[in-house]
Amino acid sequence: MAMWTQFRRLLLGTVIEAMLEERVAVDFNTIDIRFDRSKSVFKVPRFDNHMRFVGELQARLAEELDRAAQRRLERRLLGVWPQLVGVVTIPIGDKLTPDKNHVQVVIEQGDRLRVVFDLEAD
């Protein structure tokens, strides 16, 4: 449970940092990040290291987000997973590599931001 909390905070902080860099204004009180526990896996460090984080972040936009800003945020978030995986050190000499890196930024009902993710490393 503690590892899930740690990675929830890591991914939440990463998304918030990307939103700040891309000037995406959200109501921070509405931010919610959830993992799909039936698809997500965390087996690190083990002989068969494997991580997969499937879920989404939702928040209410404080300002309208145009299509260009939406694409910029998505591109920035797509670059983050390989960077995060690249710095994970595993004591048994194994190295994680990013196998799946799906991130989609969706705007719903005009003011609802959804960041859907499926991130995997093996």
Radius of gyration (Cα) for the chain, nearest Å?
Answer: 15
SS3 per residue for the chain:
CHHHHHHHHHHHHHHHHHHHHCCCCEEEEEEEEEECCCCCEEECCCCCCEEEEEEEEEEEECCCCCHHHHHHHHHHHHHHHHHHHHCCCCCCCCCCCEEEEEEEEEEECCCEEEEEEEEEEC
The pTM assigned to this predicted structure is 0.85
Tell me the domain boundaries of the chain: 2-121
Q: How confident is the model at residue 63 (pLDDT cuts 50, 70, 90)?
A: very high
Residue written as tokens 């940092």? 17
Render pLDDT for 24-54 as a digit per residue (tens, 0 to 9). Answer: 999 999 999 998 989 988 776 666 778 888 9
